[in-house]
């Protein structure tokens, strides 16, 4: 047997169903209002929290996400004063690092208008090439390629790889001569990279040695940071810490200011 409903009957059934649902919602709402009006003090507060907590929690999450998004957008939209990476420091474990705060004060940087990024958590190894190490290296290479990084400080054995690819500016060309002479007079040793002595094929690159940075062995500021200094005492030539400036840095003047700050 075939039963059929015409369009009017279907509309009537839908309307009845909607009306029934609306009545049910109104009835439930009236019950909740009556129950709520009978409660007082802590009982009332506890009831409101128990009944509406997921709405409260959801609302808080939405507000937090919105505030975080707006804050991050504003922060990332500010121009960068300096982006420096300090590789293999003790600061991943020792949180007494005050370099950013000290540099902000020294340069009178207005953080409401500009960003200062000094990374101190990246560790690179010349022996261990696991996924984490590869990810760190890829991030560093991408920063060079994007011209977003200005300064890289780290052990010689780590920094010699990028030096072979002309990643670093020539200090004898970018530093004021008086600053260069002052640093040498104060026993700061210049780091010369010799492409011909490197094991990596240097085809296509200028084989002439150039001044790619400066050693920070006697940097009093870094040596007195935290409990053990910013870096471990170098036991080999490859462990010595070098300050370099990216060859394609867009903020060379600020990078030089950072060098002055560390070596004063």
Is 181 a residue whose pLDDT tops 90?
yes
Tell me the whole-structure pTM to 2 decimals: 0.68
How far is the C-alpha of 112 from the C-alpha of 103, rounded, in Å? 15
**Average pLDDT over the chain, rounded to an integer:** 75
Can you give the three-state secondary structure of 113-171, one letter per residue? CCEEEEECCCCCCCCCCCHHHHHHHHHHHHHHHCCCCCEEEEEHHHHHHHHCCCCECCH
Could you tell me which residue, 169 or 13, shows the higher pLDDT?
169
Q: Strand pairing of 241-245 and 190-193?
A: unpaired
Lowest mean pLDDT, pick from 67-76, 87-96, 97-106? 67-76
Residue 23: which pLDDT band, with cuts at 50, 70 and 90?
Answer: low
Could you tell me which residue, 43 or 262, shows the higher pLDDT?
262
**What residue ranges in the chain does DSSP mark as E strands?**
80-86, 115-119, 151-155, 190-193, 210-215, 241-245
Rounded to 10 degrees, the C-alpha dihedral 228/231/237/241 comes to: -140
Residue 254: which pLDDT band, with cuts at 50, 70 and 90?
Answer: very high
Residue 158 has a pLDDT of 84
- Cβ within 8 Å of residue 134, ≥6 positions away: none
Is 58 a residue whose pLDDT tops 80?
no
pLDDT tens-digit map of 118-154: 988 888 877 766 666 667 667 777 777 888 899 999 9
Helices and strands: H and E segment counts in the chain? 9, 6
- Cβ within 8 Å of residue 223, ≥6 positions away: 229, 230
- Cβ within 8 Å of residue 206, ≥6 positions away: 166, 195
Q: In this structure, what are the phi and psi dihedrals at residue 61, rounded to the nearest 5 degrees?
A: -60, -45
Is 203 a residue whose pLDDT tops 80?
no
- Within the chain, what is the greatest distance between any pair of CA atoms? 107
Is 71 a residue whose pLDDT tops 50?
no
Could you tell me which residue, 255 or 162, shows the higher pLDDT?
255
Residue 90 has a pLDDT of 85
56-80 burial by CB neighbour count: b if 16+ within 10 A, else e? Answer: eeeeeeeeeeeeeeeeeeeeeeeeb
If we measure between CA atoms, which residue out of 210, 214, 154, 225 comes closest to residue 186? Answer: 214
């Amino acid at each position: 047997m075939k039963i059929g409903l015409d369009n009017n009957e279907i509309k009537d059934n839908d309307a009845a169903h909607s009306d029934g649902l609306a009545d049910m919602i109104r009835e439930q709402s009236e019950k909740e209002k009556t129950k709520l009006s009978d409660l007082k003090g802590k009982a009332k507060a506890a009831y409101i929290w128990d009944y509406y907590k997921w709405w409260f929690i959801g609302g808080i999450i939405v507000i937090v996400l919105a505030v975080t998004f707006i804050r991050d957008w504003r922060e990332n939209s500010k121009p960068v004063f300096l982006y420096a990476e300090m590789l293999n420091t003790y600061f991943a474990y020792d949180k007494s690092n005050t370099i950013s705060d000290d540099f902000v004060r020294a340069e009178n940087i207005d953080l409401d208008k500009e960003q200062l990024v000094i990374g101190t958590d990246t560790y690179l190894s010349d022996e261990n090439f696991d996924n984490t190490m590869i990810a760190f290296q890829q991030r560093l290479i991408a920063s060079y390629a994007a011209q977003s990084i200005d300064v890289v400080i780290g052990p010689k054995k780590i920094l010699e790889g990028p030096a072979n690819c002309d990643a670093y500016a020539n200090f004898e060309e970018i530093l004021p001569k008086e600053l260069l002479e002052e640093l040498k007079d104060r026993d700061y040793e210049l780091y010369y990279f010799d492409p011909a002595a490197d094991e990596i094929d240097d085809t296509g690159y200028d084989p002439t040695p150039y001044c790619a940075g400066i050693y920070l062995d006697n940097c009093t500021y870094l040596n007195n940071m935290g409990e053990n200094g910013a870096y471990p005492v170098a036991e080999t030539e490859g462990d010595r810490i070098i300050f370099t400036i990216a060859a394609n840095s867009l903020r060379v003047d600020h990078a030089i200011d950072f060098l002055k700050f560390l070596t004063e």
